[in-house]
Structure 1
Amino acid sequence: MSKTKIDLHEQEAEARESVDAIKAEARSNTTNPIVILLGILLLAMVLTYVIDSGAFQREGKLVVPGSFEVIEKDRSLSSLFAIPGSDEGADAAAARPVSLVGTLMAIPEGLSRSSGLIFMVLIIGGMFGILTRSGAIDAGLERLLSVFKGNMYVLVPGLMVVFSAGSSFLGLASEYLLVIPIMAALSERLGMSRIIGLAVVTVSVKVGYLTSVTNPIPLTIAQPLVGLQIFSGAGFRFACYLVFLIVGIAFMMVMVRRAGFSRTDVVEFSVERLSPRHMLSLLALVVGVGILVYASNRWHWHHDALSAYYIGLSLVLAALSGLGASEAANAFVFGMKKVLMASVLIGVATAVSVVLADGLVLDTVVNSLTNMVGGGGPVLAAQGMFVSQLLLDFLIPSTSGQAAVSMPILGPIGQLSGVPAQTTVLAFLFGNGLTNMLTPTSGTLLAYLATAQVGWGRWARFIFPLWVIFSIIAMVLLTIAVEIGF
């Protein structure tokens, strides 16, 4: 058969796969996540009309406690149809609600602001398209499962300890995007849903960020703002880490069993040795992940640098795969197509914060949430901090961004209400970590869902029981922290 005919057959197979995916999505009773996010975006627009506009004074990115002032706002219906930038002669000190046109313009603005993460997700999708086309992923999974005899009751706890430790001690999160497609494929190979493999990674990462024993991303911002030495209090946070990790592993064991996995089932796995090309491809992937973890922590790589690294790794994997240049390029593009929709969702999610910021209501929400904290003694104040962070994280899903906005306010409130500074930081960590496990406005969570090809609605139903359990545990641990003077 000629090369042209082979390419035509491959394109026809890809087209059939895409059509089948579209039909499956159409048959699904779940609401498309873009509909959910657009609804949240419209709600954000409405809030700019309902909620007073206001602003804190800032020193750099940090707010000055007690400096909040309400800003006069025109709530007339004419604002609903206003075109941004058309009122150049208006009072610069006044505020205006966000119009319909402004809300639509927030979407491309959100795409622009999230472009680094979006491009990174697309490139990772393309890279795994190459690995999948070469057969290295399937062969590697088959070999791995044959070694462990397909025992998820051994694999899941071991992997969750490793993944969660990377997050809690080093702050790894986006680095695990490389691992998620492999875990999702592993779950499918054992006859379970892709969501199981996704959850093994995601729950581990969230356990790590909830406790952040030495996670530099939140601690280097949050702790100095309340007068603490960076990384201090690691002992109690490590105890919290063990509690959340044990509960998280137990939850996943239950979900694995409910998914139909049983040690009594006989699953045949290939025991053949990997081919040299497959061995080299998988070795390059493992070494690539190791270099990525070291370099991103050593030189603090951000999205642009990470994307460039993934492009280079993709070229290496394409060369090792034995695929021709055109076939490797086609595989890369096809892999990108699978995560295209979710990449758009990341931009729409960012548009929510754009609308709230343009309407000058974000600081008002922060001020209102912090005003409810402080009364009723230190235990209730700590719980109030936790709840305020849960709600605030929906609007500011960035861990470092939320720390910069909320900690200068919560620190003095904690002092006045008798909440120790370490407990104030702990309330921030718990609230931020828990909301990011569930909220559709979290770009990182949407990136995880994209690479695993799992819808947000389906994920929310799966993870909500654990979210409730973790919330209860967080409130208990905060009470203990106050009582022991942590």
Structure 2
Amino acid sequence: MNETLKPTLPIDTPASGAVSTPRARRQTNPAVILLVIVFLAMAMTYVVRSGEYQRHGIIVVPGSYKTLEKDASLTQLFSVPVRTPDDTHAQPVSLTEAFMAIPQGIEKSVGLIFMVLFTGGMLGVLNRAGAINAGLERLLGVTRGNVYVLVPCLMLAFSAGSTFMGMAKEYIVIVPLMVALANRMGLPNIVGLALVVVPLKIGYLASISSPVALSVAQPIVGLPVFSGMSMRVAAYVIMLPVGIAFMFTVLRRFGFDRAVALQFDSQRLSFRHSLNIVLLGVGIGFLIYASNTWHWHYTALSAYYLALSVLFATVAGLGASEGCAAFIEGMQKVLIAGVMIGLATAVQIVLSTGDVLDTIVDGLAHLMGSHGPILSALGMFFSQLLLELLIPSTSGQAAVTMPIFGPLAQLSGVSPQTSVYAFLLGHGLTNMISPTSSGLLVLLAAAQVGWGAWARFILPLLLVFAAISIALLITAVVIGY
């Protein structure tokens, strides 16, 4: 890091570049990437046979897969097919339906989209109030900008919330704060984003007691929820230090020097700033409690963020007009997230409409076959890794795949616990980089970081985690986990 750091760098001003490479490069808009994936999904409905499983609710019935007849001629591309719930024949997705899937995806995800917009608005109010800048100035003044203390503590806290309580959407509030922290130290937005996303995804990979994944996956294969904790703890204990080491490597790559004395302002905060920071901390704590106790969903969360915005503006002494302007400005910064979420959901709609998703699952199940426990476990891992792109929902992927993969794995000598482990590792790994994951897209939007820049940044760590996951999975098979 240069020795002439400017501690007054504004929160909205990126440091020496918002990408992870020193040479500026033209970024592909992530919406373009997702739009391409939508039309690739449409093409799949013509080249992949259609079929379906019977279901009890959202859980598929093993052995119930049947192929559906389908006219996959290119004349269907320009038709407007009439679909009814009791159709016995499949139809590929037409060009018209592919375009319609995009607004349908936005409509289907409207709750999540509004939650993201209201979160951005709340942070816009906090930013206008000056509380974030003042709080970070105080924090860095007290710690002398010692990232070798800050980074491990922050990553431990974020990963614990994820792996023990299944926290994910709650971190959208934290991302802009960490981006501001990185900017204050002369680092680009993507470093602040990584401070949250890397530990969050490590927590999801391990899922020691995450109810989001385990409450669905384990009962399907006949296991008590939260059982078999040992190997999940091992994944967490191994991967978290690797993630911290990766972040230290990133800091060195961007020029951080531990010998640099950072002269940040460590004066006491004003009463208004202090009160708003206390309210933010209490608000996040209550959010975690309410989400786990009352299972708040998107509508309740949006209302909560709106109420906090009013509270922050009042404490800061912002007038009604100024508070509204700050809220709208904050919403505008994350508006692209709404489009991204709609496009990601459109991929699922297209595959579901063309009845090819169950066919892909069935094909992967047959590829697993009976090749011995180690190869079968690895086959399940790679299958889950690929299916995360098509079914980014944790509970949705568990509901579709575990009833099929679980029994097949047992026939090859793979225990139900190891089957769940393969699901957690495969799903969690792809979720670090998947362009169809609405959760990841929301965090990227909050940090104002493009998907392409993030993919290049995180790929080395992803490959290391993949090697660790394979080693852990083989160990699980060998020890009879």
TM-score normalized by the length of structure 1: 0.93
Q: 1:40 aligns with which of 28, 37, 41?
A: 37
C-alpha distance after superposition, 1:426-456 (max 9, x if no partner): 0000011111100110000000001111000
CA positional deviation for 1:130:
0.6
CA positional deviation for 1:28:
4.9
CA positional deviation for 1:84:
4.2
Query: Equivalent residue for 2:287?
Result: 292
Query: Equivalent residue for 2:104?
Result: 109
C-alpha distance after superposition, 1:45-85 (max 9, x if no partner): 00000000000011111111111111000112221011243
Q: Whole-Å Cα distance in 2 between the matches of residues 92 and 422 of structure 1? A: 38
Query: Equivalent residue for 2:462?
Result: 467
Q: Whole-Å Cα distance in 2 between the matches of residues 190 and 434 of structure 1? A: 29
Query: Equivalent residue for 1:24?
Result: none
Query: Equivalent residue for 1:7?
Result: none
Q: Whole-Å Cα distance in 1 between the matches of residues 68 and 331 of structure 2? A: 45
Residue 238 in 1 paired to residue 227 in 2? no
CA positional deviation for 1:235:
2.2
Query: Equivalent residue for 2:412?
Result: 417
Equivalent residue letter for 1:457? G
CA positional deviation for 1:466:
0.6
List gaps (5 residues or longer) in structure 1.
Answer: 1-15, 22-26
Q: Whole-Å Cα distance in 2 between the matches of residues 77 and 421 of structure 1? A: 43
Q: What secondary structure, in the 3-state scheme, does the structure 2 residue paired with 1:72 have?
A: strand
Query: Equivalent residue for 1:441?
Result: 436
CA positional deviation for 1:306:
1.2
Query: Equivalent residue for 2:5?
Result: none
CA positional deviation for 1:180:
0.4
Query: Equivalent residue for 1:69?
Result: 66
Q: Whole-Å Cα distance in 1 between the matches of residues 349 and 401 of structure 2? A: 18
CA RMSD of aligned residues (A): 1.8
Contact kept, 8 Å, 2:139 with 2:266, in 1: the verdict is no
Q: Whole-Å Cα distance in 2 between the matches of residues 113 and 238 of structure 1? A: 36
Q: What secondary structure, in the 3-state scheme, does the structure 2 residue paired with 1:70 have?
A: strand
Map 1:62-211 onto structure 2 (within 5 A). Answer: 62-85=59-82, 92-211=87-206
Q: 1:253 aligns with which of 248, 253, 257?
A: 248
C-alpha distance after superposition, 1:118-150 (max 9, x if no partner): 111111111110111111110000001111110
Map 1:343-382 onto structure 2 (within 5 A). Answer: 343-382=338-377
Contact kept, 8 Å, 1:211 with 1:430, in 2: the verdict is yes
Query: Equivalent residue for 1:395?
Result: 390
Query: Equivalent residue for 1:13?
Result: none
Contact kept, 8 Å, 1:343 with 1:450, in 2: the verdict is no
Q: Whole-Å Cα distance in 2 between the matches of residues 467 and 324 of structure 1? A: 46
Equivalent residue letter for 2:36? G
List gaps (5 residues or longer) in structure 2.
Answer: 1-12, 19-23
Query: Equivalent residue for 2:453?
Result: 458
Q: What secondary structure, in the 3-state scheme, does the structure 2 residue paired with 1:439 have?
A: coil
Contact kept, 8 Å, 2:204 with 2:428, in 1: the verdict is yes
Q: Whole-Å Cα distance in 2 between the matches of residues 423 and 445 of structure 1? A: 26
Contact kept, 8 Å, 1:41 with 1:103, in 2: the verdict is yes
Equivalent residue letter for 1:357? S
CA positional deviation for 1:326:
0.3
Q: Whole-Å Cα distance in 2 between the matches of residues 290 and 259 of structure 1? A: 33
Write 1 or 2 for the structure with the bigger share of helix: 1
Query: Equivalent residue for 2:7?
Result: none
Query: Equivalent residue for 2:475?
Result: 480
Residue 320 in 1 paired to residue 322 in 2? no
Q: What secondary structure, in the 3-state scheme, does the structure 2 residue paired with 1:272 have?
A: coil
Query: Equivalent residue for 1:405?
Result: 400
Equivalent residue letter for 1:180? V
Q: Whole-Å Cα distance in 2 between the matches of residues 445 and 91 of structure 1? A: 35
- Could you list the structure 1 runs, at least 4 aligned residues long, displaced by more than 3 angstroms after superposition: none
CA positional deviation for 1:396:
0.2
Contact kept, 8 Å, 1:187 with 1:196, in 2: the verdict is yes
Matched residue pairs, number? 463
Q: What secondary structure, in the 3-state scheme, does the structure 1 residue paired with 2:368 have?
A: coil
Equivalent residue letter for 2:58? K
Q: 2:264 aligns with which of 269, 272, 289?
A: 269
Q: Whole-Å Cα distance in 2 between the matches of residues 147 and 168 of structure 1? A: 30
Q: Whole-Å Cα distance in 2 between the matches of residues 244 and 360 of structure 1? A: 37
- Label 1:374 to 1:246 Cα distance change in 2 as closer, same or farther (>3 A): farther
